[in-house]
Amino acid sequence: MKEGAVTIATDIDQLCINTIRTLSMDAVQAANSGHPGAPMALAPVAYALWQRLLRFDPADPIWPNRDRFVLSNGHASMLLYSLLHLTGVRAVDPDYERLGEPAVTLEDIKQFRQLDSKTPGHPEYHLTSGVETTTGPLGQGVATSVGMALAQRWLAAYFNRPDFDLFNYRVYAFCGDGDMMEGVSSEAASLAAHWRLSNLCWIYDNNRIMLTGPTKLAFTEDVAARFIGYGWDVTRVGDANDLEMLEGALRTAQNTNDRPTLVIVDSHIAYGSPNKQDTSAAHGEPLGEDEVRATKKRYGWPEDAKFLVPDGVYEHFQEGIGARGALLRAEWESQLGAYTEQYPELADQLRRMQRRELPEQWDQTLPAFPADPKGMATRDSSETVLNALAQQVPWLIGGAADLATSTKTRLNFPEAGVLQADAPGGRNINFGVREHAMVAISNGLSLSKIRPFASTFLIFSDYAKPAIRLSALMEIPVILVFSHDSIGLGEDGPTHQPVEQLTALRAIPGLITLRPADANEVAEAWRFIMERHHQPAALVLTRQAVPTIDRSTYASAAGLAHGAYVLAEAEGGKPDALLLASGSEVSLCLEAYEQLKTEGIRARVVSMPSWELFEEQGPEYREQVLPAAVTARLSVEQATTLGWDRYVGLLGQTIGMHSFGASAPIKDVQKKFGFTPEHIVSTVKTMVANSRPAGQ
């Protein structure tokens, strides 16, 4: 029944809510691991949103104009798995093909938190269809949701036309006290208000409990006042079980057109035992068999039933979200058909975007750079390449953490524009000094099939590391551009001279880190990055000029795609020593190589822009580049030497950083730490002498 704009609760509503609760309790109890409290408390809120408002078709969970639901308090994962199961969400494979089979079966729920299950402890984007983003560390989900909402605004500005409202979806995110405490949520909330993302709604579970006890131990701020200060609309629901009030608050959010909305929901978990307290044991651990039985009894549930889905529950969800979503998707697809006839070029771009494909001849304007001993900074050549690419790939957008003019990531062609609340189609994004939110928002853009780039100085990659890690974990092609990559910063000193950051990026599984040696390696790096559809990449660039290598004398920069390649070969292809380097240090090795040649020492210079790509090559190729018989090996890199031992071996040496650098002109700093051709030559001569048998 309906009363005004708000639905009146019925018995079937309560039955569905309690089904969500009991499935969550049973799964956590069976796993003897997990968090039952939040799913139990939030079940009515989730039910009101999914069953009554969410524009989502369970039969096609990747329909481009679907509403997005993000569970930022990911420890409540059983809430989401229960919803995916009960609403009948269907599975999709990595090639975006709809499989027709359930995304989450009842058996999957029984396997909660078990090895290789579709129901891991926290939602995983690439593992379970219907999960819009991986939400592990608190704060990441809400920050990512800002990127999803921003993506809708950009997609609408680019693709929508009169009578064709292709993109008008909304984004809802559940969050808890932990999300509110994490700094990244504050960064993201500030930007969401600045961009006036009225399509964004965060639903805050104000349950006043942390793992260690009540929030008053550490969190006493006025959250509502904080968000009002940001510029959000804030509303409150005093009882999480009041479906009418919940629906009314969510509809108010839908009708708010000038700012994002925070709905504060006061919740309390009702357990079976009257004296049960919502402490850390209840919040973060299974309830125990006795408490599960007592709680089910309180719900009017069969006490001994496990994983019970009563008659009528599946059907009710199909009549609600299922029927609504199917109708909305069918209408959208019909609209897309007419749109394709009227705007075939835009429709083709939309199809390519959704499948992470590139336009035809996307790389036709990639520049080639002439040899130049003075050269240019790789950040400068990257700017040239990026602008060439962006004019061929319209959905390549991004920005920097207030450093675009320094990292050279400004799109400077006339059509690019600046993204703002009143110009949502701009392709330059000003993130302000918010590195963490910048990458989390970029994750949201990528999950919406936009191709984002995000930039800052390499030293500040530490501030963004949690979100970078999630890019890799989700296997999404976010592009990270880090300039000012070494002690080559000179006078800026140790606080700004990255030393351990390069190694830290290389340590992230699934992240491709590329540190090109010159302008042509930069072009090849961008070519490679754009062709990777399911992998993030970090492009690490210099502020100082480096020579543009003469490729008529030395090897082609196309070797970059192999991660490491022979740039300068020893006479006869039989080297006495191997010089290994990345980035700006490659040119130092080339100078040393030429000097060693005059002294009768046959050196081979290997440019190693990406360890990860080199490791992807077969053993034969790796042996060709780094022959095991040559033990005199020297690595040269203005970063910590950690990891280079795998390539130089027990008998090799490294020239690298063992401290935090120094503040002085670049030449003085490089000389102090041994980054000169003369030091390289001296080191190689000693190594070669020691490696030769006596008498030779």
pLDDT in tens, 506-565: 999 999 999 999 999 999 999 999 999 999 999 999 999 999 999 999 999 999 999 999
Looking at 513, 547, 581, which one is the last position of a domain? Answer: 547
pLDDT at residue 281 greater than cutoff 80 = no
Share of the chain above pLDDT 70, in %: 96
Residue 274 lies in a domain: yes
Do 90 and 326 form a contact (C-beta atoms < 8 A)?
no
- For residues 523 and 380, state if they share a domain: yes
Supply the pLDDT for residue 311.
95
CATH of the domain at 653: 3.40.50.920
Q: What letter represents residue 533's amino acid? A: H
Cα(279)–Cα(291) distance, integer angstroms? 14
With a CB cutoff of 8 Å and minimum separation 6, the contacts of 689 are none
| pTM, rounded to two decimals | 0.95
Cα(460)–Cα(335) distance, integer angstroms? 45
Cα(610)–Cα(57) distance, integer angstroms? 42
Looking at 258, 283, 309, which one is the last position of a domain? Answer: 309
- For residues 534 and 569, state if they share a domain: no
Strands 6-7 and 2-3: antiparallel
Residue 13 lies in a domain: no
Provide the residue range defining the domain that includes 622: 562-691
Taking alpha carbons only, the member of 635, 629, 627 closest to residue 608 is 635
Q: What phi and psi, each to the nearest 5 degrees, are found at residue 676?
A: -135, 150
Taking alpha carbons only, the member of 492, 484, 502 closest to residue 407 is 484
- For residues 276 and 392, state if they share a domain: no
Cα(131)–Cα(128) distance, integer angstroms? 6
The first and second tokens of residue 158, run together, are 């680019």
Q: Read off the pLDDT of residues 579-601 as tens digits, 9 standing for 90 and up.
A: 999 999 999 999 999 999 999 99
- For residues 299 and 207, state if they share a domain: yes
pLDDT at residue 270 greater than cutoff 90 = no
pLDDT at residue 284 greater than cutoff 90 = no
- For residues 398 and 531, state if they share a domain: yes
- For residues 599 and 645, state if they share a domain: yes
CATH of the domain at 510: 3.40.50.970
CA atoms within 13 A on the CB side of 180: 27
Strands 577-581 and 565-568: unpaired
Looking at 547, 576, 602, which one is the last position of a domain? Answer: 547
Share of the chain above pLDDT 90, in %: 88
- For residues 534 and 638, state if they share a domain: no
- For residues 528 and 601, state if they share a domain: no
Edge-to-edge strand order for the sheet containing 512-514? 428-430, 396-400, 451-457, 479-483, 537-540, 512-514
Q: Read off the pLDDT of residues 413-466 as tens digits, 9 standing for 90 and up.
A: 999 999 999 999 999 999 999 999 999 999 999 999 999 999 999 999 999 999
Cα(183)–Cα(435) distance, integer angstroms? 11
Q: Residue 435 catalytic? A: yes
CA atoms within 13 A on the CB side of 680: 31
Mean pLDDT, the chain, integer: 94
Count Cβ atoms below 10 Å from residue 65 Cβ, excluding itself.
21
Supply the pLDDT for residue 603.
97
- When pLDDT is cut at 50, 70 and 90, the band that residue 216 belongs to is confident
Residue 9 lies in a domain: no
DSSP string, 168-199: ---EEEEE-HHHHHSHHHHHHHHHHHHTT-TT
Cα(118)–Cα(553) distance, integer angstroms? 54
Per the structure, the count of domains in the chain is 3
Supply the pLDDT for residue 625.
98
Taking alpha carbons only, the member of 388, 607, 625 closest to residue 518 is 607
DSSP string, 387-428: HHHHTT-TTEEEEESS-HHHHT----STT--B-BTTBTT-SE
- For residues 442 and 475, state if they share a domain: yes
pLDDT at residue 194 greater than cutoff 50 = yes
Q: Read off the pLDDT of residues 129-163 as tens digits, 9 standing for 90 and up.
A: 999 999 989 999 999 999 999 999 999 999 999 99
Taking alpha carbons only, the member of 625, 620, 636 closest to residue 583 is 636
Cα(157)–Cα(177) distance, integer angstroms? 34
- For residues 634 and 572, state if they share a domain: yes
- When pLDDT is cut at 50, 70 and 90, the band that residue 275 belongs to is low
Q: Please count the helices (runs of H) and the strands (runs of E) in the chain.
A: 26, 24
- When pLDDT is cut at 50, 70 and 90, the band that residue 2 belongs to is very low
Residue 341 lies in a domain: no
Looking at 182, 247, 383, 435, which residue is catalytic?
435
Residues 311-315 have a mean pLDDT of 96
Do 140 and 54 form a contact (C-beta atoms < 8 A)?
no
Cα(123)–Cα(369) distance, integer angstroms? 45
Strand partners, 479: 453, 537
Q: Which residue has the higher pLDDT, 107 or 219?
A: 107
Cα(346)–Cα(159) distance, integer angstroms? 7
Strand partners, 233: 261
Supply the pLDDT for residue 279.
42
Count Cβ atoms below 10 Å from residue 631 Cβ, excluding itself.
16
Strands 577-581 and 633-640: parallel
Supply the pLDDT for residue 94.
84
- For residues 71 and 42, state if they share a domain: yes
- For residues 525 and 568, state if they share a domain: no
Residues 312-341 have a mean pLDDT of 98
Cα(397)–Cα(394) distance, integer angstroms? 8
Do 139 and 129 form a contact (C-beta atoms < 8 A)?
no
